[in-house]
Amino acid sequence: MPSTSGRAPRRRVAMSGAVLTALILAACSSSPSAKKDDSTSPAANQGSGSAAPTGVSMTSAQELQNVGQTDSKAFCGTKQVTLGIQDGFGINAWSQASMAAVRSEAAKCPNVKTIVQIGEGDLQKSISQINSMVAQGANALVVIPDFGKSELPALRAATNAGVKVVPWAADPGGKDGTDYVSYVDWSSPSAGTLWANWMVKTLHGKGNIAFIGGPAGNPVTAGQLKSVVQVVQQNAGMKLLTGNSSWPVTNWDPATAQKIMSALLAKYPKIDGLISDYGTDALAATRSFEAAGRKLVPIATLDTNGLGCLYAKDKSSQPGFQLATISSRNWLGRIAARKAIAAAAGVPDSEPSTFDLPIIEDSLGSATPKCATGQPDDFYTSNQISPADLAKYGKP
């Protein structure tokens, strides 16, 4: 996990699962731009005089209630902005939802044009794309640096060239305000802690668990695993079968995840729970259980429609199958887009940058997993990204 020591403090927001669930359910009927209190609502219009544009200022509660959505366009400013959008991976459903969040937000601004690139899991290609977008005149960048610190020199070089850089969803290390404008994300270690504690509670403090994750060494999975290990070590009855310093690599590819899970099931006759850092991978892993003739076990992961629908179908026949999910958090791309565009346009943006996201679905609690009938398995309901926007903005 990339070190965060020496970094500028980030505004972090923590809310209980019950509060966030209630806020998400209310999101369709409430918009922060409709609030009357100017201290908490986004500014909708710039004045006609010489006053500086107000920009976007949402409270943490508004961010979470509306999963990063706002009707305000004040973050656009009036200056011409060329926004480079790059994802180091970019080839699965999660990446498509992330791309859609960023691009649909940028599309609000008539003064913004975009350059879109995906790294397809290749570090050198990702670095080259970042450099290329700067050479093409991008004055703002929104980047998912899946390779962590290895991409920091390219981000720092772009910043030194005057580009307003906002990394998100994978920690590159570095320092807010120096190496880039601001790093936007959840707290990945917090997610690992939540998942592991839920697993301990669900298994009554005794059981063997497996942990599967994305590309080797990526900072997202590394942060989660470190927290999972800490929780397991505090509970003598729990055993992490898959190791404390590395994990079975799925590359965030469901076909690979299914193969990996099949191998784990063949190796370990007793797996009592599964933690996965990608809901679509976890769904693929359930097929391995079924193919091996094994009962489904408790799963802690990110939300995905297919898991919610599987739970709805099998909850009676497989009482051992329980589910806890955190938002897949693609909606944070909306915030990242606003911060980069606002910085390039000279408009202030005082939104929070980092969130401790709670569990939003818990089959053992009141937050029943959701199944969006008619939507694909890898549709992430927590983002509130429409199927139309996914189709329009989800791919380069």
| Residue 43 pLDDT | 27
Closest CA to 215 of 126, 288, 141: 126
| pLDDT per position as a tens digit, 322-349 | 999 999 999 999 999 999 999 999 999 9
Read off φ and ψ for residue 379, nearest 5 degrees.
-90, 135
Q: What percent of the chain has pLDDT above 70?
A: 84
Q: How far apart are CA 197 and CA 158, in angstroms?
A: 40
Residue 51, SS3 per DSSP: coil
Query: How many angstroms separate the CA atoms of 55 and 351, rounded?
Result: 10
Both tokens of 334, joined, read 């909306």
Distance, CA of 373 to CA of 305 (rounded, Å): 9
The SS3 call for residue 378 is coil
pLDDT above 50: residue 112: yes
Q: How many CA atoms lie within 13 A of 190 on its CB side?
A: 17
pLDDT at 66: 84
Q: Residues 6 or more apart from 48 whose CB is under 8 A from it? A: none
In tens, the pLDDT along 89-104 reads 998 999 999 999 999 9
**Backbone φ and ψ of 185, nearest 5°:** -175, 175
Q: What is the pLDDT of residue 65?
A: 77
Cα radius of gyration (the chain): 21
**Is 268's pLDDT higher than 60?**
yes
Beta carbons of 75 and 33 less than 8 angstroms apart: no
Q: For residue range 185-201, what is the model confidence (pLDDT) as tens digits? A: 998 999 999 999 999 99
The mean pLDDT value of the chain amounts to: 87
Dist CA 133 CA 344 (whole Å): 15
Q: pLDDT tens, 289-329? A: 999 999 999 999 999 999 999 999 999 999 999 999 999 99
pLDDT over threshold 70, residue 232: yes
What are phi and psi for residue 300, nearest 5 degrees? -120, 125
User: Mean pLDDT throughout 129-145?
Assistant: 98
Cα–Cα distance for residue pair 250/35, rounded to 1 Å: 44
Task: Compute CA distances 109 → 66, 331, 383, 393, whole Å.
Answer: 20, 18, 21, 15
What per-residue confidence (pLDDT) applies to 321? Answer: 98
